[in-house]
Structure 1
Amino acid sequence: MSESTMATVTTELTGERADLLQVLSNARHFLRFTARDLTDDQARTRTTVSELTVGGLIKHVTSVEEQWRTFILHGKAEMDWDGADFASIPPDVLEAFAREFRTLPEETLDELLAHYAETAARTDEVLADVDLDTIHELPKAPWFTDATWSVRRALLHIVAETAQHSGHADIIRESLDGAKSMG
Protein backbone atom coordinates (compact mmCIF):
# COMPACT_ATOMS: atom_id res chain seq x y z
CA MET A 1 0.00 0.00 0.00
CA SER A 2 1.47 3.35 -0.94
CA GLU A 3 1.60 6.26 1.47
CA SER A 4 -1.17 7.99 -0.49
CA THR A 5 -3.38 4.88 -0.21
CA MET A 6 -2.66 4.66 3.52
CA ALA A 7 -3.66 8.30 3.84
CA THR A 8 -6.96 7.48 2.08
CA VAL A 9 -7.72 4.70 4.57
CA THR A 10 -7.11 6.96 7.57
CA THR A 11 -8.97 9.95 6.14
CA GLU A 12 -12.10 7.83 5.61
CA LEU A 13 -12.13 7.03 9.32
CA THR A 14 -13.11 9.35 12.13
CA GLY A 15 -12.61 9.73 15.84
CA GLU A 16 -10.44 7.43 17.90
CA ARG A 17 -9.90 4.92 15.10
CA ALA A 18 -8.61 7.63 12.75
CA ASP A 19 -6.33 9.00 15.48
CA LEU A 20 -4.89 5.58 16.28
CA LEU A 21 -4.23 4.74 12.65
CA GLN A 22 -2.68 8.16 12.02
CA VAL A 23 -0.28 7.75 14.94
CA LEU A 24 0.67 4.29 13.63
CA SER A 25 1.13 5.67 10.11
CA ASN A 26 3.43 8.39 11.45
CA ALA A 27 5.56 5.89 13.37
CA ARG A 28 5.80 3.67 10.28
CA HIS A 29 6.81 6.67 8.17
CA PHE A 30 9.72 7.52 10.46
CA LEU A 31 10.99 3.95 10.43
CA ARG A 32 10.87 3.84 6.62
CA PHE A 33 12.34 7.35 6.35
CA THR A 34 15.29 6.32 8.51
CA ALA A 35 16.15 3.67 5.90
CA ARG A 36 16.10 6.13 2.99
CA ASP A 37 18.99 5.84 0.53
CA LEU A 38 20.71 3.03 2.44
CA THR A 39 22.42 0.23 0.56
CA ASP A 40 21.71 -3.37 1.50
CA ASP A 41 25.12 -3.57 3.21
CA GLN A 42 24.43 -0.41 5.22
CA ALA A 43 21.02 -1.79 6.26
CA ARG A 44 22.87 -4.83 7.69
CA THR A 45 25.55 -2.77 9.47
CA ARG A 46 25.77 -2.60 13.26
CA THR A 47 26.88 0.83 14.47
CA THR A 48 26.55 0.31 18.22
CA VAL A 49 27.44 -2.48 20.65
CA SER A 50 23.92 -3.78 20.09
CA GLU A 51 23.15 -6.45 17.47
CA LEU A 52 20.50 -4.13 16.01
CA THR A 53 20.63 -2.89 12.42
CA VAL A 54 18.20 -0.75 10.42
CA GLY A 55 17.23 -3.71 8.23
CA GLY A 56 16.86 -6.01 11.21
CA LEU A 57 14.60 -3.52 12.96
CA ILE A 58 12.36 -3.21 9.90
CA LYS A 59 12.19 -7.00 9.71
CA HIS A 60 11.37 -7.25 13.43
CA VAL A 61 8.70 -4.53 13.39
CA THR A 62 7.08 -6.24 10.39
CA SER A 63 6.99 -9.53 12.29
CA VAL A 64 5.62 -7.89 15.44
CA GLU A 65 2.87 -6.18 13.48
CA GLU A 66 1.95 -9.45 11.74
CA GLN A 67 1.89 -11.29 15.07
CA TRP A 68 -0.33 -8.73 16.80
CA ARG A 69 -2.65 -8.45 13.79
CA THR A 70 -3.13 -12.21 14.09
CA PHE A 71 -3.85 -11.77 17.81
CA ILE A 72 -6.39 -9.05 16.99
CA LEU A 73 -8.19 -11.41 14.61
CA HIS A 74 -7.84 -14.76 16.39
CA GLY A 75 -6.59 -14.23 19.92
CA LYS A 76 -3.70 -16.20 21.35
CA ALA A 77 -4.64 -19.43 19.54
CA GLU A 78 -2.59 -18.45 16.47
CA MET A 79 0.47 -17.25 18.40
CA ASP A 80 3.50 -19.52 18.40
CA TRP A 81 4.29 -19.25 22.12
CA ASP A 82 2.36 -19.68 25.32
CA GLY A 83 4.66 -20.26 28.26
CA ALA A 84 5.10 -18.82 31.72
CA ASP A 85 8.87 -18.49 31.35
CA PHE A 86 11.57 -18.54 28.69
CA ALA A 87 12.38 -22.19 29.43
CA SER A 88 8.88 -23.22 28.33
CA ILE A 89 9.13 -21.45 24.96
CA PRO A 90 10.31 -23.93 22.31
CA PRO A 91 13.92 -23.34 21.16
CA ASP A 92 12.85 -23.03 17.51
CA VAL A 93 10.48 -20.19 18.48
CA LEU A 94 13.26 -18.40 20.37
CA GLU A 95 15.64 -18.84 17.41
CA ALA A 96 12.99 -17.52 15.00
CA PHE A 97 12.58 -14.50 17.27
CA ALA A 98 16.35 -13.85 17.28
CA ARG A 99 16.52 -14.36 13.48
CA GLU A 100 13.87 -11.71 12.87
CA PHE A 101 16.34 -9.08 14.08
CA ARG A 102 18.93 -10.09 11.46
CA THR A 103 19.02 -9.07 7.83
CA LEU A 104 20.16 -12.21 6.07
CA PRO A 105 22.65 -12.00 3.18
CA GLU A 106 19.98 -12.92 0.62
CA GLU A 107 17.51 -10.28 1.89
CA THR A 108 17.45 -6.80 0.43
CA LEU A 109 16.30 -3.60 2.06
CA ASP A 110 13.82 -3.06 -0.77
CA GLU A 111 12.30 -6.49 -0.10
CA LEU A 112 12.09 -5.81 3.64
CA LEU A 113 10.41 -2.45 3.02
CA ALA A 114 7.97 -3.97 0.51
CA HIS A 115 7.00 -6.70 2.99
CA TYR A 116 6.56 -4.03 5.67
CA ALA A 117 4.27 -2.00 3.37
CA GLU A 118 2.17 -5.11 2.61
CA THR A 119 1.93 -5.89 6.31
CA ALA A 120 0.90 -2.33 7.11
CA ALA A 121 -1.79 -2.42 4.42
CA ARG A 122 -3.27 -5.65 5.81
CA THR A 123 -3.23 -4.28 9.35
CA ASP A 124 -4.89 -1.02 8.26
CA GLU A 125 -7.64 -2.97 6.50
CA VAL A 126 -8.32 -5.03 9.64
CA LEU A 127 -8.28 -2.00 11.91
CA ALA A 128 -10.68 -0.05 9.72
CA ASP A 129 -13.52 -2.35 10.82
CA VAL A 130 -12.50 -4.37 13.87
CA ASP A 131 -14.21 -3.83 17.22
CA LEU A 132 -11.58 -2.06 19.33
CA ASP A 133 -13.25 -3.27 22.53
CA THR A 134 -12.92 -6.99 21.73
CA ILE A 135 -10.94 -8.70 24.50
CA HIS A 136 -8.56 -11.63 23.96
CA GLU A 137 -6.68 -13.73 26.48
CA LEU A 138 -2.93 -13.17 26.24
CA PRO A 139 -0.53 -16.07 25.93
CA LYS A 140 1.46 -16.78 29.06
CA ALA A 141 4.81 -15.02 28.89
CA PRO A 142 7.28 -13.58 31.39
CA TRP A 143 6.83 -10.10 29.91
CA PHE A 144 3.03 -9.85 30.39
CA THR A 145 1.51 -8.78 33.68
CA ASP A 146 -2.05 -8.80 32.34
CA ALA A 147 -4.23 -11.79 31.47
CA THR A 148 -6.10 -10.09 28.61
CA TRP A 149 -5.77 -7.24 26.15
CA SER A 150 -8.34 -5.46 24.07
CA VAL A 151 -7.86 -5.01 20.34
CA ARG A 152 -7.23 -1.34 21.17
CA ARG A 153 -4.42 -2.31 23.54
CA ALA A 154 -2.86 -4.61 20.93
CA LEU A 155 -2.98 -1.74 18.42
CA LEU A 156 -1.34 0.56 20.96
CA HIS A 157 1.35 -2.08 21.43
CA ILE A 158 2.01 -2.08 17.66
CA VAL A 159 2.29 1.73 17.81
CA ALA A 160 4.66 1.58 20.79
CA GLU A 161 6.88 -1.11 19.23
CA THR A 162 7.06 0.80 15.95
CA ALA A 163 7.86 4.13 17.61
CA GLN A 164 10.44 2.59 19.95
CA HIS A 165 12.24 0.79 17.15
CA SER A 166 12.06 3.87 14.91
CA GLY A 167 14.12 5.61 17.58
CA HIS A 168 16.59 2.73 17.67
CA ALA A 169 16.88 2.85 13.88
CA ASP A 170 17.46 6.61 13.99
CA ILE A 171 20.40 6.18 16.39
CA ILE A 172 21.88 3.41 14.23
CA ARG A 173 21.46 5.52 11.08
CA GLU A 174 22.99 8.63 12.60
CA SER A 175 25.95 6.54 13.79
CA LEU A 176 26.26 5.00 10.33
CA ASP A 177 26.46 8.11 8.17
CA GLY A 178 25.26 11.12 10.15
CA ALA A 179 21.80 11.19 8.57
CA LYS A 180 18.98 12.07 10.96
CA SER A 181 15.26 11.49 10.73
CA MET A 182 14.52 14.69 12.61
CA GLY A 183 16.55 17.75 13.58
Structure 2
Amino acid sequence: MTDTGTITPTDERAELLSTLAEQRSALLITVRGIGDAESTRRTTASRLTLAGLLKHVAAVERSWTGVLTGRGWDSAADGGATDDFVPAEGETLAVLADRYAEVARETERAVAGLPGLDVGRPLPVRPWFPPGTVWSARRILLHLIRETAQHSGHADIIRESLDGATTTPRLLADIGGTLPE
Protein backbone atom coordinates (compact mmCIF):
# COMPACT_ATOMS: atom_id res chain seq x y z
CA MET A 1 0.00 0.00 0.00
CA THR A 2 1.18 3.48 -0.71
CA ASP A 3 0.50 6.47 1.54
CA THR A 4 -2.62 7.25 -0.53
CA GLY A 5 -4.16 3.90 0.31
CA THR A 6 -3.98 2.52 -3.20
CA ILE A 7 -2.70 -0.96 -3.81
CA THR A 8 0.63 -1.20 -5.60
CA PRO A 9 0.50 -3.81 -8.38
CA THR A 10 2.74 -6.78 -7.75
CA ASP A 11 3.42 -10.22 -9.10
CA GLU A 12 0.52 -12.58 -8.40
CA ARG A 13 2.83 -15.52 -7.72
CA ALA A 14 4.67 -13.51 -5.09
CA GLU A 15 1.37 -12.46 -3.50
CA LEU A 16 0.06 -16.01 -3.29
CA LEU A 17 3.35 -17.44 -2.02
CA SER A 18 3.60 -14.64 0.54
CA THR A 19 0.09 -15.38 1.80
CA LEU A 20 0.88 -19.10 2.03
CA ALA A 21 4.10 -18.28 3.92
CA GLU A 22 2.10 -16.14 6.38
CA GLN A 23 -0.24 -19.05 7.07
CA ARG A 24 2.68 -21.45 7.54
CA SER A 25 4.27 -18.96 9.92
CA ALA A 26 1.09 -18.71 11.99
CA LEU A 27 1.04 -22.49 12.38
CA LEU A 28 4.72 -22.59 13.36
CA ILE A 29 4.17 -19.79 15.89
CA THR A 30 1.34 -21.83 17.39
CA VAL A 31 3.59 -24.86 18.02
CA ARG A 32 6.58 -22.81 19.18
CA GLY A 33 7.62 -23.49 22.76
CA ILE A 34 5.63 -26.68 23.16
CA GLY A 35 7.33 -29.94 24.12
CA ASP A 36 7.24 -33.10 22.04
CA ALA A 37 5.07 -34.93 24.61
CA GLU A 38 2.52 -32.13 24.70
CA SER A 39 2.56 -31.85 20.91
CA THR A 40 0.99 -35.30 20.60
CA ARG A 41 -1.64 -34.77 23.30
CA ARG A 42 -5.27 -34.72 22.16
CA THR A 43 -7.33 -31.92 23.71
CA THR A 44 -10.54 -32.21 21.68
CA ALA A 45 -12.93 -34.96 20.62
CA SER A 46 -10.99 -35.29 17.37
CA ARG A 47 -7.71 -37.13 16.97
CA LEU A 48 -5.91 -33.92 16.03
CA THR A 49 -2.70 -32.95 17.79
CA LEU A 50 -0.22 -30.17 17.17
CA ALA A 51 2.44 -32.56 15.86
CA GLY A 52 -0.14 -34.40 13.77
CA LEU A 53 -1.35 -31.18 12.17
CA LEU A 54 2.21 -30.14 11.32
CA LYS A 55 2.88 -33.55 9.78
CA HIS A 56 -0.37 -33.38 7.81
CA VAL A 57 0.09 -29.91 6.32
CA ALA A 58 3.63 -30.76 5.21
CA ALA A 59 2.50 -34.03 3.59
CA VAL A 60 -0.47 -32.48 1.85
CA GLU A 61 1.52 -29.50 0.59
CA ARG A 62 4.18 -31.85 -0.77
CA SER A 63 1.48 -33.83 -2.58
CA TRP A 64 -0.08 -30.66 -4.04
CA THR A 65 3.37 -29.54 -5.16
CA GLY A 66 3.59 -32.84 -7.04
CA VAL A 67 0.34 -31.96 -8.79
CA LEU A 68 1.66 -28.46 -9.61
CA THR A 69 4.80 -29.87 -11.21
CA GLY A 70 2.91 -32.54 -13.13
CA ARG A 71 4.43 -35.42 -11.12
CA GLY A 72 1.00 -36.14 -9.65
CA TRP A 73 -0.23 -36.73 -6.13
CA ASP A 74 2.29 -38.37 -3.80
CA SER A 75 0.23 -40.96 -1.94
CA ALA A 76 3.30 -42.04 0.01
CA ALA A 77 3.80 -38.48 1.30
CA ASP A 78 0.25 -38.05 2.54
CA GLY A 79 0.17 -41.38 4.39
CA GLY A 80 -3.30 -42.15 3.19
CA ALA A 81 -6.45 -41.05 4.95
CA THR A 82 -5.68 -42.91 8.16
CA ASP A 83 -2.24 -42.00 9.48
CA ASP A 84 -1.08 -38.70 8.01
CA PHE A 85 -2.17 -36.96 11.25
CA VAL A 86 -0.18 -39.36 13.46
CA PRO A 87 3.56 -38.74 13.91
CA ALA A 88 5.70 -41.83 13.54
CA GLU A 89 8.43 -42.80 15.96
CA GLY A 90 11.15 -40.15 15.80
CA GLU A 91 8.96 -37.48 14.18
CA THR A 92 9.58 -34.80 16.76
CA LEU A 93 8.33 -31.26 16.37
CA ALA A 94 11.81 -30.22 15.24
CA VAL A 95 11.88 -32.94 12.57
CA LEU A 96 8.39 -32.03 11.40
CA ALA A 97 9.20 -28.29 11.31
CA ASP A 98 12.36 -28.97 9.28
CA ARG A 99 10.34 -31.12 6.86
CA TYR A 100 7.75 -28.34 6.55
CA ALA A 101 10.47 -25.80 5.73
CA GLU A 102 11.83 -28.15 3.05
CA VAL A 103 8.33 -28.59 1.59
CA ALA A 104 7.88 -24.79 1.53
CA ARG A 105 11.08 -24.44 -0.51
CA GLU A 106 9.89 -27.19 -2.90
CA THR A 107 6.58 -25.37 -3.39
CA GLU A 108 8.31 -22.06 -4.07
CA ARG A 109 10.60 -23.69 -6.66
CA ALA A 110 7.63 -25.44 -8.29
CA VAL A 111 5.62 -22.23 -8.56
CA ALA A 112 8.64 -20.33 -9.93
CA GLY A 113 9.04 -23.00 -12.60
CA LEU A 114 5.47 -22.76 -13.89
CA PRO A 115 4.87 -20.98 -17.20
CA GLY A 116 1.96 -19.20 -15.51
CA LEU A 117 -0.75 -19.61 -12.89
CA ASP A 118 -3.37 -20.43 -15.52
CA VAL A 119 -1.72 -23.77 -16.30
CA GLY A 120 -4.20 -26.57 -15.67
CA ARG A 121 -3.41 -29.67 -13.67
CA PRO A 122 -5.60 -32.78 -13.35
CA LEU A 123 -6.61 -33.47 -9.77
CA PRO A 124 -5.72 -36.71 -8.06
CA VAL A 125 -8.25 -39.52 -8.01
CA ARG A 126 -9.95 -39.00 -4.67
CA PRO A 127 -13.58 -39.51 -3.60
CA TRP A 128 -14.01 -35.78 -2.99
CA PHE A 129 -12.97 -34.68 -6.50
CA PRO A 130 -15.23 -35.37 -9.48
CA PRO A 131 -13.38 -37.55 -12.02
CA GLY A 132 -11.49 -35.58 -14.64
CA THR A 133 -11.42 -32.33 -12.66
CA VAL A 134 -8.68 -29.89 -13.63
CA TRP A 135 -7.61 -26.93 -11.48
CA SER A 136 -5.35 -24.06 -12.42
CA ALA A 137 -2.10 -23.62 -10.52
CA ARG A 138 -3.70 -20.51 -9.02
CA ARG A 139 -6.60 -22.55 -7.62
CA ILE A 140 -4.20 -25.12 -6.20
CA LEU A 141 -2.27 -22.36 -4.40
CA LEU A 142 -5.51 -20.86 -3.09
CA HIS A 143 -6.52 -24.31 -1.86
CA LEU A 144 -3.18 -24.70 -0.07
CA ILE A 145 -3.66 -21.32 1.60
CA ARG A 146 -7.16 -22.30 2.74
CA GLU A 147 -6.06 -25.71 3.98
CA THR A 148 -3.09 -24.28 5.88
CA ALA A 149 -5.21 -21.53 7.45
CA GLN A 150 -7.89 -24.04 8.47
CA HIS A 151 -5.38 -26.32 10.17
CA SER A 152 -3.62 -23.35 11.75
CA GLY A 153 -6.96 -22.50 13.38
CA HIS A 154 -7.29 -26.08 14.61
CA ALA A 155 -3.79 -25.84 16.06
CA ASP A 156 -4.62 -22.58 17.84
CA ILE A 157 -7.59 -24.23 19.58
CA ILE A 158 -5.49 -27.23 20.59
CA ARG A 159 -2.67 -25.02 21.89
CA GLU A 160 -5.06 -22.87 23.91
CA SER A 161 -6.54 -26.04 25.43
CA LEU A 162 -3.05 -27.29 26.34
CA ASP A 163 -1.62 -24.24 28.07
CA GLY A 164 -3.77 -21.19 27.42
CA ALA A 165 -1.43 -19.76 24.78
CA THR A 166 -3.00 -18.31 21.66
CA THR A 167 -1.37 -17.42 18.38
CA THR A 168 -2.57 -13.84 17.82
CA PRO A 169 -0.53 -12.09 20.55
CA ARG A 170 2.55 -14.15 19.67
CA LEU A 171 2.11 -13.38 15.97
CA LEU A 172 1.71 -9.67 16.70
CA ALA A 173 4.83 -9.72 18.89
CA ASP A 174 6.79 -11.26 16.01
CA ILE A 175 5.80 -8.42 13.68
CA GLY A 176 6.03 -5.65 16.29
CA GLY A 177 2.29 -5.08 16.55
CA THR A 178 -0.01 -4.86 19.57
CA LEU A 179 -3.57 -5.77 20.36
CA PRO A 180 -6.00 -2.83 20.49
CA GLU A 181 -6.97 -1.65 23.98
TM exceeds 0.5?
yes
Matches of 2:136 and 2:104 in 1, distance apart? 20
What's the CA shift for 1:124?
Answer: 1.1
Aligned to 2:11: 15
TM-score by length of 2: 0.80
Q: Which runs of 4+ in 1 moved over 6 A?
A: 92-95
Letter in 2 for 1:57: L
- Shift in Å, 1:54: 0.5
| Residue 45 (structure 2) pairs with residue 49 (structure 1) | yes
**Structural mapping, 1:133-152, within 5 Å:** 133-145=118-130, 147-152=133-138
Instruction: Give the number of aligned pairs.
Output: 159
Amino acid at match of 2:31: A
**Alignment counterpart, residue 163 of structure 1, candidates 140, 143, 149:** 149
Q: Look up the equivalent residue of 2:166 and give its one-letter code.
A: K
Aligned to 1:116: 100
Which SS does the other structure have where 2:135 is aligned? strand
Larger radius of gyration: 2
Aligned-partner Cα distance in 2 for 1:49–1:128: 40
| Higher RCO (CA-CA < 8 Å; seq separation 6+) | 1
Q: Which amino acid aligns with 1:70?
A: G
Gapped regions of structure 1 (runs ≥ 5): 1-13, 82-91
| 1:60 lines up with 2:56 in the alignment | yes
More helix by share: 1
1:172 aligns with 2:166: no
1:182 partner SS:
helix
TM-score, structure 1 length as denominator?
0.79
Matches within 5 A, 1:99-114: 99-114=83-98
Instruction: Provide the identity percentage.
Output: 45
Contact 2:156 2:167 in 1 (8 A): yes
Q: Quick one: which amino acid aligns to residue 127 of structure 2? A: P
In 2, the alpha carbon distance for the partners of 1:63 and 1:164 equals 15
Distance 1:28 1:93 in 2: 18
CA RMSD of aligned residues (A): 2.2
